[in-house]
Amino acid sequence: MADPFSAAVDAQWVDIPMPGGSPRAMPAWWARPAAGERPRAAVLVLPEVFGVNGWVRSVADRLAAEGYAALAISTFWRTAPHLDVGYDEAGLAAGREHRDQVTTDQLLSDVAAAAAWLQAAHQGDGLAHKPLGCVGFCFGGHLALLAATLPVIAATADFYGARVSTFRPGGGSPSLELVPEIPGRLWCFCGDADPLMPAEELRAIEAALAAHPEAGHRLLIAPGAGHGYMCTARGDYHPAAAQEGWAALLELFASSL
C-alpha cells in the first residue's frame, strides 16, 4: 500500500530491546514528524491480527503527519515477528493462530519496553517525561484496554476491541474488569453493525465506563458501521465513520497528551 504521508514524515523499522537480557528484539514501525520538527507527544499503535501491515504503518505515519511520534509494535513478535498478512480468510486464520498465544503479562511487558525505548532513546525530542497515548484496532483494541492500565499511558483509543467483557488474553477474568485500574482516559469506538460486538457487549462496556464518570471515559458508537470500519483495506471500511473516528482520536490525544 502506498503511504500518502511519506513525504511529511520520517519513518523506518526499528528493533525495541526487551527486558531481562533477551537476545531478541521486538520489531516496530517508527514514524515521526519530518526532520527538525519536535513531536508534540508519542503514541503507541497496536495492530489487528493481520500484523504491522501497510495499513497499520499508515496509521503511524498519519499520526506523525499530525505532529506525533508514533510507534507501531509487533504484538506477535514472539511467534511471528514480521507478520503481515492479507485481509482474507487465510490471513485471518494465520493471525488468530498467533493472537491466541498472546498473554496479558506479555502485552504489558511489551508496552512497558516500548514506552521505555521512547522515553530513553528520544530525550532530545522532549519525550522523556511525557505521558503516552495508545491506539489499537480489533485485537489491538482489546490489547489497548489492557495497556491503558499502565501509569505511563494517559489516553487510549480502543477501536472495536471485541470480547473485552468475556475474555482476557492468557486467561483470567474479563479484561473489562480492569477499567477501575485505568489511570488515564479510555475511549472505546465501535460500529452498531459490528457482528463481533453484540448488544450485550456494548451494554457491558457502557456500564463499565459510566461507573467512573470522573475519569472521562467514553463509548462512541458509529451508526451503520461494521467491524474494521477505520481500515481502508477492509470490506467494512466506512468513510464517514472513519473520518469521525479519526477526528475523535485526535481530540482525545490533543486534550490529554
Cα distance between the two ends of the chain: 30
Question: Angle at CA 154, nearest 5°, toward 76 and 188?
Answer: 70
Cell matching residue 127: 519525550
Nearest-angstrom CA–CA distance, 244 and 209: 21
β-bridge pairing 25-33 and 9-17: antiparallel
Alpha helices in 135-217 (DSSP H): 139-147, 199-210
Phi, psi dihedrals of residue 217, rounded to the nearest 5°: -70, 155
At 245, the amino acid letter reads: G
Nearest-angstrom CA–CA distance, 199 and 178: 20
**In this structure, are residues 52 and 72 in contact, taking their beta carbons and an 8 Å threshold?**
yes
Nearest to 161 by CA among 43, 46, 32: 46
Nearest-angstrom CA–CA distance, 32 and 109: 23
Nearest-angstrom CA–CA distance, 170 and 240: 35
Catalytic residues: 138, 194, 227
